[in-house]
Amino acid sequence: MTDATLGGPSRAPSREEQAAMAEKSEGGVMLAADGTPLKLSLARSLRRKRLRAFLLVLPLLAFVLLTFIAPIADMLFRSVENQIIPDNMPRTVAALEEWDPAESELPPDAAFEALVLDMVEMEAAKSHTRVGSRLNYEQSGMSGLFRKTGRRADRVEGDYRAGLIAIDEEWGERQTWTTLKNFSGAYTLGYFLSAVDMTYGETGEIVAKPELQQIYMFLFERTLWLSLAITGTTLLLGYPIAYLLANLPMRTSNLLLILVLLPFWTSLLVRTSSWIVILQQQGVLNDTLVALGLIDDQNRLSLIFNQTGTIVAMTHILLPFMILPLYSVMKTIPPSYVRAAKSLGATNWTAFWRVYFPQSIPGIGAGAILVFILSIGYYITPELVGGTSGVFISNRIAYHISSSLNWGLAAALAVILLIAVMGLYWLYDRIVGIDNVKLG
């Protein structure tokens, strides 16, 4: 070993060289034209190739990482981040560390003093309202409490406890202090608890929210169930269309394909609104049914602003995502197979079911996974036609992003949705096999 290092180039032998040397010691070795062992020079050139390929995709990789993965990761990180409290109320956080809500009704005097001092500082930095809004997500009234206390905290002297309670009786309630303590860490589980309809109780234990406020688990369930229903209806409607497209002469099928793509190119909002025109109680469909005497004018059907509306509109909107993969897979199935089956005595049904259908499964897999994943995160169509019984979890995420500004809860809901989708994807891979999915 020492000899090799002395005699050879002055660097430690790489793994390839060691392998080459090991081989040499076993017996003869093939040499390349320049005298290096063939295996070694091959490995080198391969490595160079791989490096070049990596450098070629590097810009794209960096782009995706920077503009896609990083912002999403940053956003999702908010679901546990709670830096604002320890940053703004360091004294209170420290003073509450020792206090156990289960043992005593209220924290020690030191906590009251710390809170007043923190509050005066926050008021000067104008951050007390931000902290108040943050805590208001956990307990109603915190926002007002902080605004009010911030205005008067600098006048509290001597007996801090009495002074604070004089500003607002809320400071004499255990719940207020428990909330402060529960959310004093730099990281919190609170958003995730809210996202599964749980919360911290008066003494810091985890309890279910009152039944009147339980909403998210129910919405997750509904999102899942409606997405499955939409996937099912698009498959049911899309399969025959794709079959027709794949088996007609080129000229006719191209024409029909344009009919499939035309709505695809039309604005989403236009398509959704036209469903409102068609399906509403004074709409085209109901008017026709009344005119035909099939239903009574007083009992018009409610077809929109409920689950039916969501399923109908979304099935229509997502249909191309089912038809196109199905069509491109069916296009590759040689018609001679079905003819062969028939010539061997199969009925039409057997030939389809035993010969044609199994070959179209990769298309079904691709279409189903596309439609399902698109619909589980769908937002605008359910918002417009879903009424109250047809909205998805994404509508609540949007509400928390754009309206309540509770981005932590929105992020927690999004993380759960992401995990659920990945879990389903894994299950799908186990059952169907992702290798079986073909887009064309």
Partner 1 sequence: MRKTLLAGTALVAAAAAPSFAQNMEGTLTIVSWGGAYSASQQNAYHAPYLEKNPGVTIVNDESSAEAVARLRAMTEAGNVTWDIVDVTGADAIRLCDEGLAMEIDHNEWLAPAPDGTPATEDFGETIHTDCFIPQIVFSTTFGYRTDVEAWEGREPDDLCDVFDLEAFPGTRSLERRPISNLEWALICDGVAIDDVYDVLETNEGQARAFAKLDTIKDSTIWWTAGAETPQRLADGEVVIGSTYNGRLFSLIVEQNQPVKMLWDWQTFDLDGWIIPADVPDEKLPLIKDYIRFATDTQRLADQAKYISYGPARASSAPLVSTHAELGIEMAPHMPTDPNNAGNTFLFNYEWWADNRDDLDAKFQAWLTR
Least distance (Å) from partner 1 to the CB of residue 422? 26
**How many whole angstroms separate alpha carbon 289 and alpha carbon 80?**
53
Instruction: Point out which residues pair with 199 in neighbouring strands.
Output: 207
Q: How far is the CB of 238 from partner 1 (least distance, A)?
A: 30
- Nearest distance from C-beta of residue 274 to partner 1, angstroms: 13
Angstrom distance (rounded) from CA 118 to CA 171:
15
DSSP state of 209: P
CA–CA separation, 51 and 367 (whole Å): 36
**Residue 346 or residue 398: which is nearer to partner 1 going by CB?**
398
Site residues, partner 1 (CB under 8 A): 126-127, 129-130, 132-133, 136-137, 140-145, 147, 212-215, 218-219, 222, 280-283, 305, 383, 387-389, 391, 396, 399, 401-407
Cβ–Cβ < 8 Å for 207, 198? yes
Residue closer to partner 1 (CB basis): 38 or 405: 405
Joined together, the tokens standing for residue 222 give 């509904």
- Bridge partners of residue 420, in order along the sequence: none
Closer Cβ to partner 1, 137 or 243, answer by number: 137
DSSP H/E element including 273: helix 268-279
Residues 418 and 394: beta-carbon distance below 8 Å: no
Q: What is the DSSP letter of 28?
A: -
List Cβ neighbours of 390 (8 Å cut-off, separation of 6 or more): 226, 305, 306, 307, 308, 309, 310, 311, 382
Q: Give the Cα separation of 50 and 276 in Å (integer).
A: 55
Cβ closest to partner 1, residue 213 vs residue 436:
213
In the complex, minimum distance from the CB of residue 158 to partner 1, in angstroms, rounded to a whole number: 29
Q: Which residue number, 71 or 440, has a Cβ lying nearer to partner 1?
A: 71
- The nearer residue to partner 1, 146 or 321, going by C-beta atoms, is 146
Name the minimum Å distance from CB 74 to partner 1.
10
Q: Which residue lies nearer to partner 1 by CB, 127 or 359?
A: 127
Smallest separation (angstroms) from partner 1 to the CB of 273? 10
In sequence order, the β-bridge partners of residue 200 are 206
Q: How far is the CB of 218 from partner 1 (least distance, A)?
A: 6
Q: From CA 221, how far away is CA 199, in angstroms rounded?
A: 20
